[in-house]
Structures are given as structure tokens and as C-alpha cells.
Structure 1
């Protein structure tokens, strides 16, 4: 029995919150993964929350995202509990916004169509669409993968702006006093600005507001013109992302000649995205085969993805056709394509496919489904409505279990990349990352196998050849190690550590002159790299050149007077030529540094 003082809507929202924590509650201890290691764990910028200027300059287009990471670091360091809690709370917020968004859209639809319609299913559909969104496994990457907070955070600001604008508009048209609807309009503008400073995908927000205004608020071009004054403050926001990109984003958007090394031509990227968007839709309907790193071959001809294009155009055409018959469903379909457009159209990104890119666009599909289901079941018998609800309950249960299981894949780096390798056996990146995990765990033989497979698949970056060379040296394959390290040096001549490792391998094979050249190269690349100087000096001793070795040791001590190895070496060299007093002085200094 629900107390009269508490509305059923409040209970529904409490249930939505509980559902989110039920499926994500086991993730609090999961580690940083993949890009999160570089962008969060090892990012010095977020470690001083007082340096707002540094956070801003690091990436203005994602300022609020990185500021949120700085808040997490200030409160809990690198303990992932707080980071996961923040992400889960964002998903709670997004879920509640979806709930209210669909409810307000039903209210807007009723206003356009007339209040006489029987809308018995609207409340239930509003709740179940939000609940499915809450527990759908396609959203796990945007929540459990800490770094992809960008997707969930921009979605919250984006949806809040849409909801606030819609509520203010409906209240205004219903004759509510200004003090009731104007604060919501101000919130809509503020959260739109926040979205623009969270992720570049917010660029489409002003267009989404115009679309919503036309289809579900105004209902006609004439009425839209009359209400254009309320949209006007949002239109200048379209300039924010391009301006920040041009003036600040040298690291993200560089000259096309440089970008061309890492990304495909725009048209080829677009053709490939036709197939990728179909994959996203399949995963939304049947979420089997989820993967952090889906393998796709670049589509270079339109005709190779023409079937996907035709299906997408059919969906888009249906959305346009529904404009008069079912404006809410039409808005949902068009919202999906609009919000997909930034990352899945002409502008090529290094990573062609990521499941978190559906986090915001999928909301449009839930809106369309809710609208179509409500229209289809309107004035139907009770059996039809109960059957639909039974299907919804079963879907929620199955999706919730799938989300819990999918989250378990993110529990460790090993489990994550094992999953990638299993599902994308022809993709080099999975083998590289799993190889790195195995190397850190001391499983050198397995790591070497994985790196070799990555090279076989074309994942032959300098860093991969370097790690493979080190692993071969550890296993005793010096000739193989030399080959791999020379390849790494060829691909990236300024890798200091590779020059050092190659020197070690050459020295172990008795190739002293070549080893000396590599140690010297490493020392020249970084004069303060003590390890290179130390190996060079030790090699010179081994080659019977104590005078040259002494000069190198003295150079080390000039940089670091307390270097114990260099002090002991100097003591040894001085004793060898009979300068015992000087040798004892160095030996004493070496003892003091221990």
C-alpha cells in the first residue's frame, strides 16, 4: 500500500535507482583500464585540483570531465571506489532523466493530439523504457570503464538541458507563472553550456532542441517561428566546440596531413560507419558479443556497405514519415541519428567503433519505442497491455543478468583483454595489451607469444618490437632479441630505452663495439640518463679501456655525486693503478651512500 503522501512516481524512481545499483554494485573495486591508466592514473594534471588553469589548458573541450577526475583524486587519490561511485551516480542521473524525458514527451504529445486520448500505458511505458535503459548491458562501457565517463557525463548534461527546456516550454504554454518556468529555461541553458565543456559530441544539442521544438512542442513551422526567440540563446553554443578545437585542441585535432597517418579518409570512415551503426542496433536488440575492441575492416567502396546504408535510410525515412502521425516517435528516431552524427559520420576518429557511443543516441530509440508501443496498445484490450508488460519484465530480467555478467569482464585487465582476444582474434591491439598484462605478471613466455601474434597481425609498433625484444633477451634468444630491438630502433630512433636494451643484447653476444655505439646513442639522446652512462662505462672497463671508463664515471658523478655504482667503480679503477689513498676516499663515499 503506497502512503497517500508519497506518489507512485517517486516509488518508480526509487526502483530505478535501486536497479542501477543492483547491476553495477559489484564494480566498485575494479581497476583503471586501457586509456584510463594514462588519462587518469598517470595524469599529473588532475592531481592538483587548485590548478584550474592546467586542467583547462590540458583539454578545454573536456574541461568538466577532467575537473571531475581532479575532484575524485582530491577526495580519494587513485582508489577506484570514488571514481566508480561517480560514474554510477551519473548513470542514475541519466536513467532518471530518461524517465522524466519520456514522461514530458508524452505530455507534449497529448497537448498536440488533444487530451481526449486514452493513454493508460503511458506511465508504464515511461517507467519500463527507463528501467531497460538502466540495466541494458550496452551501457556498461560508459559506466564501468572509468575513462568513458565522458560519454555518461555529457549525456547527463545533454538530457538535463533537453528535459529542462521541454518542461519550461510546456509549463509556459499551460499558462504557469514565469517564476515557475523561467528557472527551468535558465537551467537548460546552463547545462547546455556544461555539456559543451564536457565532450565535443554535445555539438548537436542546439539542433536537438530545434528538432524537439518543431516536432513535439510547436507542431508547425509557423508556431516554431513564433517561439524562435526561446531557442535563440542556445544557437551561439554551436560555436563553442569548433572554437575550442581551433584555438586549443592541437593534441586532439591536428593538421590533416598528420591525422592521415592514424585515421582513414572521411568517406571510407563514413562507409564503415554504416556497418558499425547496424552493429550497435543489433547489440541494442540482442546484446551478445559485446567487445571493447570490435574488429572491422575498412570499407573503401560504398557498395560494400550499401545494404547497411539502405537499412539505415529506411529507419530514417520511417522517422520522417512518422512526423505527422506520431511526432514523439519521429523525434526519437531523428534524435538517434542526430546524436550519432558527431562520432559516426564524416569526421574520422582513430577508433572506429566503441559501444559507449550508443549511450546518448540509444535514448532516442527508447523514446520512439515508447511512443510506438503507446500508440499501438491504445484502446486495446487488457490482455494486449498485460502481454506487453510481461515482455518488458522478462526483458529487464534478462538484460540485468547480462549486465552483471558483462561487468565481470572488466574485473581485471587480464579478463578484459582475454575477452577481446577471444572475440577479435584478428585484431592486434588485444594481443598487445594482453601481452603487456602477462609481462607485468611475470608470465614472460605467454607474453612473448602474444606479442609475436600481434606483430604477425600487423601490430608492429616500435613499443611492441621493443617489448618483444626484451622478452626474447629474458628467454635467452639473443639473436631474436637483437632483430626485434633493431626493428624498434628503426621505427622510432629516439626511443632511449630501446637503444639501452639493444646495447645489452649486443654486449651479451660479444659485439662490444656495436654495444658501445648503442649505449653512446642512448646517452646522447638523454645526457641525464644515468643507466646509459653506467653501461657504457662498464663496457669500456670490460674492453680494457680504463681511462675512457673513468671519464664516463666522472661524468656520472658530476650529475649525481652520490651514485654508489660510479663511486665503487672509481675506487676499483684507482686501486688498479696504485692510487690507494684516492681509491679509499671513493670507497668511503660509496659506503656512506648505502
Structure 2
């Protein structure tokens, strides 16, 4: 009896030790990511989304999908994601640490469950742990783990893997179909979680119950109908449950949501080639980019289309061949997982033809296939000799070490907006959004000349990109080019009349020029389109305050300080100039102009402004310090 209990405990001990080690090495690889900034869609779903700022809105997330984003075109139904964001925000506001911490814990849970599922498939704890470690350390997955709003992808993957784990661990409870619940709930984070139902059908085809495989030829014919009935009874409920969840999510999604695809035909014929690129990236992730510049194929005469088709044919052929033999069915299951998990983003046209975070769920399949192949090597005693075992172990350790280092380095790319978008301009130089966003980071630093250069490079590629026109107008406005700025604001409004940003940033420019009535009307329109837009709401409150009382030199000075604190130095100067029209000897206004010119690198103008400030207020210590800084900067040039 004692020996039996020891035997039961023996496989658990290495599993526990391995799981702890697995968590430790993944945590080590991600130690430099917890303070990475927000990016991409984090702006409208998190930073500027008023709905996630109060926990009392959590029930609304499940009844009103407009709470998901401040942009109507991005308002999809993802209440689980909004709930997690609201909880993280409640802890410490917009501190990225808490958002990254909660996402990372979900990621670790996913990796551990994946190790368990692989172990149940191949019955080798060390291969299962090594395979899960490779998934956890794969640099391609960093683009999902570092991207806060991509937590939806992690939740969806966690739901799928958890459903398989429940199915495998609790065979007696299968008749209640509890195993379908994790995936069904995960659909509330992202609809691709529903692909579990299809994966489960494939799994049950490849791995039928043993009792139906053990009968001799005489009994098989009698059992065929019973087998089919039993199989259908097992796979139909998950299909129905997941389909019902998809229909529910579709019904809850506002009509304002758009997928963003310009041409469905071009998108679809590009996907076989994209799948080939994803497959290549899994084994050689050298060209990871947060935003690719691959344009959709326009016809099937393109050689890339046929390369993708041949890859697809080879993948399906390999899957079928592997499915014929019991020893290779895990490989077949993994390959089919990769293909099937790509279907939601391949068949449903989206704005970008490819994106690294779309491989997060499909790559689980390739990990399973490789684990199955490694297990097969052991079964055929290829790795039974000491030399072979040491060699294979060394290769595995080297692979994990390289992957961990690459992940650590990739995390550094996501550190700030500047580091991320600079990387995009190098990896995807023909991507207008990448050029524009890097220009935005330069503008935030006060490098308006550099920003305008990148904006014009992007404009040459995408002349009707409304967001680009808005940013170009902001930069032109900041350099005193008011006429072209106004034209570009108006052009952006014409191209994207349903986008709140088209109104908000134009209104901000008008407010800086004291055109309060026009700005007020634009901000009302912005809030009608996106009631949760924090920026528009704050600007409207400012416009109301300006309308309620006649402007004074002091109110203009206060506005200049607000602009300065937000890095809008040209608007700081304009507000101070408005103050000086009312009070020409206002030393504080001259000092603020000096400080703004220092930030813009216009040191000669800064010296002139600070000298004026000291003329009117000789003991103005702050102006004296700003003047000293400007003169030192002039001399160092």
C-alpha cells in the first residue's frame, strides 16, 4: 500500500518542480516588460475611455458594448476585457505595472495549462514542460503579452486550453459538458475562443474512445451507428454552445463597429501567403514587427499566392498522413490546430492583412505538433542512448535560452512609443501608420521638423489617411502654419466624419486661437459620437469655462501652463501672446514663452523672451534661470 502511494506521487514530484521552474524562467524573460507603456488601441479602450475609470460601470460592460472604446468604429462586445481593465485602473490609475501584472498572470496560467494538456496527450512530463516553456518564451508571443488590449487574445487562448484541460482531467463529468464552459465564457473576451468547438471535433475524430476501437471486425459493423451517435452526442453541445455565444456577441455588438477591411477579395487571397509567413516566423522570428507593411495581393497571378496555396496543401497533406497512424495523431492534431485557429482572422477581413498577435492561439498547435514529434523520437528509441539524450537536451536548452534572450530583447522594443514605432519604421518602412506614429513621438519631444518629415513620408504612401492628416495638422499648427493646418483638419473631418478624433483635435486648435464657439460645436459633435472620450470631455469643460467669463491675461496664462504641462509648447506660446495683448508687461507670460522656446530648441527666441520678462520684473528668479539655460544651450551648439 505504501509502495502504491509512492508510485502515485512519483510522477507528480517532477511535474511540480518542473512547473515552478517553468514559471521562474518565463518570469525572468519578462522581468523588463512590467513598466512598458500603452500602445495602439490602448489609447481609445483604456487611456481615453472614461467607462473603465469606475468599478460601478462593470455591469454596464455586459449590457452596453459602447463602453469598450471611446471610438464608435472600435466598439465591439468584450465585457471581460473591460472588466479586467477597470479593476486594474482601480488599483493605481494608469500605471502600466498593474495592467501588465494581471495579463502576465493570465499568461502564466495559460502556459501551465498547456503543459498539462500536452502531458495528457503524450504522457511525457519533461517534453510537455519543455514544449510549454518554448511557447512561453517564444519571442513572437511578446507582441501579445506586451500589448495591454491584446489581453483579449490571452483570455481566448486560456479559455480554449482550459476547456481541453477540464475535458481531459474530469472524464466522469463529461456528460454534463462543463468542459465547454471556459471557452464559451472566453468568447466574452474575444470571439475566436469559439474555435474550441471545431478543435474539439477534430480532437474527437483523431482520438476516439478506446472502447470503440477495441472490437474485432465482427463487432465493428454493429457498433458503427452507436459510435457515430455517441460521437455526435459529445461534440454537438460544444458546437451549439459556442455558436450561441457567437450569436449573442454579434447581437450585442453596436452597428458602428467596423472591421476595417477595404477589399475582402484581396484580403482573402493574401491569407494563404500570410499563413506561410506565420509558419516561417514560428521557426525563425527575425522580422517581428508591431505593424507590418505587407499590402494585400490583388490577383491570384501573384507568385506569393501560389506559394501560400502550396504551403496549405502540404500542411493538409501532412495532417492527413499523420492522422492515419495512432503514433502520429498528436502531430496531426497540432498541425490542424494551427490551420483551424487561423481561420477566424483569415476568413473574416480585417484592417491589416497580418499581425503577430493573431498567431498567439495558432502557435499552440505547432507547439503540440512538435511535442508529439519529440515523443515519437523517444518511442522509437532514437534518443535512448546517453549521447543522444545529452545532445537533445543540450539542443533544447540552447533553444530555450535563445528564445528567452530574444523575448527579453523584444520586450525592450515595446518599452515606449518611441522605441516601438522606431522599430516599425525599420522593419516595415512602407507602413504609413508606423511612420506617422514615430512622427508623433518626435513631435512629443519637440522635434517638429523631424515629425513633419515622417508625416510627409507617410502622406506620400497614404494621402487619404484621416488620422495622419490630423497629426500633420497638429504639427503644422505647432509651427505656425495655420492655413495648411486648417485645411488638413477639415480634410480629415471630410474623410472620417464618424471619428470623434476628427472633431476633437480640430477643436483643440481652435480653442488655442480663441475661436471658442466653433470649438464648442465640434466638441459637442465629438461627444455625441464617443460619449466616453475623456479628451473631448475635458476640452469641452475648458471651452465652457472660457465661454462663461471674458478671457483675462491670467486665464490665458493658466491655459499656457496647461499646454506646457501636456507638451504642447507652440500652443503655450500662443496662449501667452493672447495674455500679452491684454497685459503687455506681464513678466510671467514672457517667462512662459521663454520656457516653451527652450523646449522647442529655439534658444535665440528664448533669450529675447526672458530678457523681456526680466525687464518688467528684474528679481524674477525663474526667468533668470530660463535665460541662463537658453544662453548655455546657444553656446554649446
Alignment of 1:166-181 (within 5 A): 166-169=168-171, 181=172
Matched residue of 2:35: which SS? coil
Shift of the 69–481 alpha-carbon distance from structure 1 to 2, 3 Å rule, reads closer
Mapped contact 1:61–1:200 kept (Cα < 8 A): no
Mapped contact 2:516–2:546 kept (Cα < 8 A): no
Segments of structure 2 that go 5 or more residues without pairing to the other structure are 1-8, 69-75, 214-223, 527-542, 557-581, 583-637
Aligned partner (choices 46, 53, 56) of residue 50 of structure 1: 56
Shift of the 266–472 alpha-carbon distance from structure 1 to 2, 3 Å rule, reads closer
Aligned partner (choices 262, 267, 277) of residue 265 of structure 2: 267
Aligned partner (choices 25, 43, 66) of residue 19 of structure 1: 25
Alignment of 1:189-588 (within 5 A): 189-218=180-209, 223=227, 225-251=229-255, 253=257, 262-304=260-302, 305-325=305-325, 326-344=328-346, 346-377=347-378, 378-380=380-382, 381-382=384-385, 383-477=387-481, 480-481=484-485, 484-485=488-489, 487-488=491-492, 490-491=494-495, 495-496=502-503, 525=522, 560-565=547-552
Q: TM-score normalised to the size of structure 2?
A: 0.72
Q: Tell me the distance in 2 between the aligned counterparts of 1:500 and 1:417.
A: 27
Partner of 1:584: none
Q: Tell me the distance in 1 between the aligned counterparts of 2:546 and 2:232.
A: 68
Q: TM-score normalised to the size of structure 1?
A: 0.76
Shift, 1:335, TM fit: 1.3
Mapped contact 1:470–1:501 kept (Cα < 8 A): no
Partner of 1:128: 130
Mapped contact 1:332–1:363 kept (Cα < 8 A): yes
Q: Tell me the distance in 2 between the aligned counterparts of 1:211 and 1:459.
A: 46
Shift of the 562–183 alpha-carbon distance from structure 1 to 2, 3 Å rule, reads farther
- 1:105 has 2:90 as partner: no
Shift of the 77–312 alpha-carbon distance from structure 1 to 2, 3 Å rule, reads same
Shift, 1:137, TM fit: 0.3
Aligned partner (choices 103, 111, 116) of residue 87 of structure 1: 103
Equivalent pairs counted in the alignment come to 500
Shift, 1:225, TM fit: 3.4
Q: Tell me the distance in 2 between the aligned counterparts of 1:293 and 1:558.
A: 41
Q: Tell me the distance in 2 between the aligned counterparts of 1:396 and 1:374.
A: 18
Q: Tell me the distance in 1 between the aligned counterparts of 2:264 and 2:293.
A: 19
Shift, 1:243, TM fit: 1.6
Q: Tell me the distance in 2 between the aligned counterparts of 1:297 and 1:561.
A: 51
Q: Tell me the distance in 1 between the aligned counterparts of 2:142 and 2:518.
A: 47
Shift, 1:427, TM fit: 0.9
Segments of structure 1 that go 5 or more residues without pairing to the other structure are 108-121, 170-180, 508-515, 530-555, 570-586, 588-594
Q: Tell me the distance in 2 between the aligned counterparts of 1:36 and 1:562.
A: 36
Shift, 1:411, TM fit: 0.6
Mapped contact 1:485–1:501 kept (Cα < 8 A): no
Shift of the 450–567 alpha-carbon distance from structure 1 to 2, 3 Å rule, reads closer
Q: Tell me the distance in 2 between the aligned counterparts of 1:486 and 1:6.
A: 66
Q: Tell me the distance in 1 between the aligned counterparts of 2:555 and 2:91.
A: 45
Shift, 1:448, TM fit: 1.2
Mapped contact 2:507–2:523 kept (Cα < 8 A): no
Shift of the 485–68 alpha-carbon distance from structure 1 to 2, 3 Å rule, reads closer
Aligned partner (choices 81, 84, 88) of residue 68 of structure 1: 84
